[in-house]
């Protein structure tokens, strides 16, 4: 069975973070390995507290996992502190882990900061050069480039600029006003994966599901462009299958996105 390592924060509300990654990876038929970078106290209404895991212990978690089984791909989500970003980058380089999908989680959908301001420069200088692909949304692309990113044309320009930092780039367009299209740049061509706007209050976890699905599709052998397309489609189905569980924003449902049964069938065929 393929193994995907998620390096991310814990969401006590179960909608995003490491919890969303585990659901997505498992639903697609792979085994989820996990490294916790931070604990959050949050629910559907927002994040009330963040407890960062010491960088040394983050490194110990990665060491323990990798020395037992080298993952077939890696997803990096919320890391929170500059020291933690450096620790994760150092371990990825030391163990030559690849492919690496970086979801530069800067803020929660409710507005809470999930990456310290001082860590943005460190992420750009230390982690992005090691990444196979980075998956910012519009606001994250603006922070990475320092420029406005609100339209498809601006997304294309930002993708080309972020590519100069090292990785291939997918800019997620879920926050576009009239559509929900993603822009992919691999260093040679820009590809747009179009999508109609889905009106839903159950969107918590979309970025985590996209990046962990992308990492899983890469682990399962898809090309990067194919993996981006598959992750784009899966997230749209996950939004359509989303649900409310509390008094605030609802969550997406990656396990309701049509991946589980097909993945189980593939697993049964491989195990025969």
Give CA–CA dist 117/80, Å, rounded: 9
E strand segments, 100-205? 100-102, 133-134, 168-171, 182-185, 190-193, 202-204
**Any bridge partners for residue 137, and if so which?**
172
CB atoms within 10 A of CB 77: 26
Handedness of CA 113, 17, 139, 175 (dihedral sign): negative
Give CA–CA dist 172/211, Å, rounded: 10
Enumerate residues 6+ apart whose C-beta is below 8 A from 77: 6, 7, 8, 9, 17, 18, 21, 37, 103, 105, 208, 211, 212
Give CA–CA dist 137/42, Å, rounded: 21
Contact 124, 165 (CB under 8 A): yes
Kindly state the tokens that stand for 246: 């509390």
Which residues are designated catalytic?
172, 203, 205-208
Q: Which residue has the tokens 């910012």?
A: 136
Give CA–CA dist 234/231, Å, rounded: 5
């Amino acid at each position: 069975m393929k193994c995907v390592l998620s390096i991310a924060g814990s969401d006590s509300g179960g909608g995003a973070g490491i919890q969303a990654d585990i659901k997505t990876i498992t639903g697609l038929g792979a085994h989820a390995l996990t490294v916790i970078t931070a604990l959050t106290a949050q629910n559907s209404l927002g994040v009330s507290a963040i407890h960062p895991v010491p960088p040394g212990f983050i490194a110990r978690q990665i060491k323990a996992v990798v020395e037992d089984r080298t993952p077939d791909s890696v997803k990096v989500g919320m890391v929170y502190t500059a020291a933690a970003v450096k620790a994760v980058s150092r371990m990825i380089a030391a163990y030559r882990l690849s492919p690496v999908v970086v979801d530069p989680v800067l803020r929660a959908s409710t507005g809470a900061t999930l990456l310290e301001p001082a860590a943005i420069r460190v992420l750009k200088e230390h982690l992005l050069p090691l990444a196979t692909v980075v998956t910012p949304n519009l606001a994250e692309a603006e922070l990475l480039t320092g420029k406005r990113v609100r339209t498809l044309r601006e997304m294309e320009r930002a993708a080309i600029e972020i590519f100069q930092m090292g990785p291939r780039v997918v800019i997620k367009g879920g926050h576009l006003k009239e559509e929900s299209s993603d822009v992919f740049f691999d260093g040679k061509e820009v590809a747009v994966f179009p999508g109609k706007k889905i009106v839903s209050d159950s969107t918590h976890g979309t970025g985590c599901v996209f990046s962990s699905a992308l990492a899983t599709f890469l682990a399962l052998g898809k090309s990067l462009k194919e993996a981006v397309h598959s992750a784009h489609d899966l997230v749209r189905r996950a939004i359509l299958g989303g649900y409310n569980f509390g008094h605030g924003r609802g969550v997406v449902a990656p396990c309701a996105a049509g991946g589980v049964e097909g993945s189980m069938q593939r697993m049964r065929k491989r195990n025969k």
